[in-house]
Amino acid sequence: MSLSALIAPQLPFLRRYARALSGAQTSGDVYVAAMLEALIEDPALFDRDCENRVAIYRAFSRIWNAMPINGKAESHEAGAAERRLAEITPLPRQAFLLTAVEGFTPDQAAQVLECSPAELSSLIETAGREIGEQVATDVLIIEDEPVIAMDLENLVQGLGHKVAGNARTRAEAVEMALRLRPGLVLADIHLADGSSGLDAVHDILGAFSAPVIFITAYPESLLTGERPEPTFLIAKPFEEDMVRAVVSQALFFDAKAARRAATAA
């Protein structure tokens, strides 16, 4: 298959990624054009030993990271969300976008950035911490397994957030949520007394709005093909990097949506 045929399906997504990195439509497209010109000059820049999508993002990253001005947003075009992204250290910003927005697994993102899985984990953790400093919030954990709850508490606190409470049943979760008004909810489905975390979240969202991340060993109970389905879903056993990325994503884009709603009003 020709190089152009391999690249063409990925270009819309790559342009989205480039614009998010640069903070502006025009500069993002310039970087993509620079990558395409580099590929014409040196087709070996596209590593055919990788998955096609990994290869094109890796080629782009090589061009991006070779430029001294990488990571600087054009503030005259950038909106609030883009400016917040621009405040994240350049490599962690790439790791965050690759995993949280572009949907790469941690292993794939490590291939794109040509770093080790451990280095990628550190980059994601740094991005999460820096995002947490911008959108730090109180988090309610709905989880009946003490060890898992403790792991989630440590992850959340490591990202700069505060654990408002840990509920083990639907009744506890609703009571805590109404009293504490957390900015984020992490919820299991099957709880200690046989009650449902899904029902707890339904009750909570009936009272106020907050992003919710479901962390469950039974994702099929939520992925029914019917609407609405959860926006954020992590399967157990979970990877710590995945939790960090999704927490950061949920808060980052929830803040963006909240500002849009406020502006529209």
Q: What is the pLDDT along the chain (265 residues), one digit of tens a residue?
A: 788 888 888 899 999 888 878 777 788 888 899 999 999 999 988 988 899 999 999 999 998 888 765 544 444 344 445 555 556 678 888 998 898 878 899 999 999 999 999 999 999 888 888 887 888 899 999 999 999 999 999 999 998 899 999 999 999 999 999 999 999 999 999 998 999 999 999 999 999 999 999 998 888 777 766 655 667 888 899 888 888 888 887 887 776 545 444 444 4
Q: Which residues pair with 138 in a beta bridge?
A: 162
Can you give the length of the chain in residues?
265
Exposure string over 146-172, b if 16+ CB within 10 A, otherwise e: eebbeebbebbeebbbebbbbbbbbeb
Phi and psi angles of residue 167, each rounded to the nearest 5 degrees, phi first: -105, 145
Return the structure tokens found at 212: 């919710």
| Predicted local confidence at residue 207, as pLDDT | 96
**Amino acid identity, position 41:** E
Torsion of CA 181, 187, 189, 192, to 10 degrees: -80
Give me the DSSP letters along 54-123. HHHHHHHHHHHHHSTTTT---TTT--HHHHHHHTS-HHHHHHHIIIIIS---HHHHHHHHT--HHHHHHH
Q: How far is the C-alpha of 204 from the C-alpha of 196, rounded, in Å?
A: 13
Give CA 121 to chain center in angstroms.
13
> For residue 237, is the peptide bond before it cis, meaning its omega torsion is within 30 degrees of 0?
yes
> For residue 12, is the peptide bond before it cis, meaning its omega torsion is within 30 degrees of 0?
no
Return the structure tokens found at 173: 């979760």
SS3 of residue 234 by DSSP: strand
Nearest residue to 101 (alpha-carbon basis) of 172, 181, 20, 193: 20
| Predicted local confidence at residue 123, as pLDDT | 92
Residue with tokens 């408002």: 164
Domains of the chain and CATH, by start: 3-131 (1.20.140.160), 136-240 (3.40.50.2300)
Do 81 and 256 contact (CB within 8 A), yes or no?
yes
